[in-house]
């Protein structure tokens, strides 16, 4: 099992007292599996993704990823896990404006020490980015920027891809096209995919789904 969550709990302090966001989540994800995480706003979806990515720490429970207990890692350990094991795709593209498309595609893989020019070139071709390799992010459409963000993540060959509303800024037709490309390339890379989405239509395209409600799996 690539990812195992056991009794995962997380609260935040508010002016009205502690707010329980995740309340005992148990979840497992195998290598190569794709899983959609659905639920209303405030149900804890993004919080769960941030905990798995090591961007936040849980109040209780365990997160075991690729043989590592994330809660037991320090900041540098969690950063190393993100560089080498986890790939992140967000609704905001987070491209580096001073780098052209080719350099943005290679950026994460270079950080991870596994830049493979042939694999990166295959990703660029599959994502329809070859004509734009010398352009900068501001010269691209939203759909093109999200394709670069997907390619940048997959170029590093992560074992787990975490995607938080990855097509939320795109129109429906572009979202469908980008989603099809992402699923095909994630499958080709052998990575597992955990994706947060509000869209039942997009969730249906993944291998399975779970629904969060009030911090619990409904």
Tell me the domains of the chain and their CATH numbers: 34-56+74-217 (3.40.50.300)
In degrees rounded to 5, what are phi and psi of residue 4? -135, 125
Of 145, 123, 101, 144, nearest in space to 189 by CA: 123
Q: What's the predicted TM-score (pTM) here?
A: 0.91
Strands annotated E in 84-191: 86-90, 160-164
In degrees rounded to 5, what are phi and psi of residue 112? -80, -5
CA distance 95 to 105: 9
Which strand ranges, in their side-by-side order, compose the sheet holding 60-65? Answer: 17-29, 3-14, 60-65, 68-69
Q: What is the pLDDT along the chain (218 residues), one digit of tens a residue?
A: 999 999 999 999 888 888 899 999 999 999 999 999 999 888 899 999 999 999 999 999 999 999 889 878 888 988 888 888 999 998 888 999 999 999 999 999 999 899 999 999 999 999 999 999 999 999 999 999 999 999 999 999 999 999 998 888 888 888 888 888 889 988 888 899 999 998 888 999 999 999 999 899 98
Q: Tell me, what's the pLDDT at 151?
A: 93
In degrees rounded to 5, what are phi and psi of residue 164? -110, 100
CB atoms within 10 A of CB 97: 8
Q: Tell me, what's the pLDDT at 96?
A: 96
CA distance 131 to 110: 22
Alpha helices, DSSP H, located in the chain: 45-52, 75-84, 101-112, 117-126, 142-155, 172-189, 200-203
Q: Tell me, what's the pLDDT at 84?
A: 84
Would you state the structure tokens that stand for residue 199, as one six-digit string?
């869209």
Q: Tell me, what's the pLDDT at 206?
A: 94
DSSP 3-state percent helix, strand, coil across the chain (nearest 5): 40, 30, 35
In degrees rounded to 5, what are phi and psi of residue 148? -65, -45
C-alpha dihedral over 105, 107, 52, 27, to 10 degrees? 30
Radius of gyration of the chain (CA): 17
């Amino acid at each position: 099992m690539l990812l195992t969550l056991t009794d995962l709990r997380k609260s935040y302090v508010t002016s009205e007292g502690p707010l329980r966001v995740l309340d005992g989540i148990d979840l497992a994800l195998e290598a190569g599996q794709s899983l959609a995480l659905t639920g209303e706003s405030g149900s804890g979806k993004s919080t769960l993704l941030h905990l798995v990515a090591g961007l936040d720490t849980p109040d209780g429970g365990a997160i075991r990823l690729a043989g590592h207990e994330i809660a037991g890692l320090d900041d540098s350990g969690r950063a190393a896990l993100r560089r080498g094991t986890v790939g992140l795709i967000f609704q905001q593209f987070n491209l580096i404006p001073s780098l052209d498309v080719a350099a943005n595609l290679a950026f994460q893989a270079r950080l991870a020490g596994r830049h493979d020019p042939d694999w990166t070139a295959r990703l660029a071709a599959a994502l329809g980015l070859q004509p734009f390799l010398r352009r900068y992010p501001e010269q691209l459409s939203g759909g093109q920027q999200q394709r670069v963000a997907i390619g940048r993540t997959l170029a590093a060959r992560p074992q787990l891809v975490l995607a938080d509303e990855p097509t939320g800024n795109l129109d429906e037709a572009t979202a469908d096209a980008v989603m099809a490309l992402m699923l095909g390339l994630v499958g080709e890379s052998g990575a597992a995919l955990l994706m947060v989405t509000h869209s039942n239509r997009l969730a249906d395209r993944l291998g399975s789904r779970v629904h969060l409600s009030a911090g619990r799996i409904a």
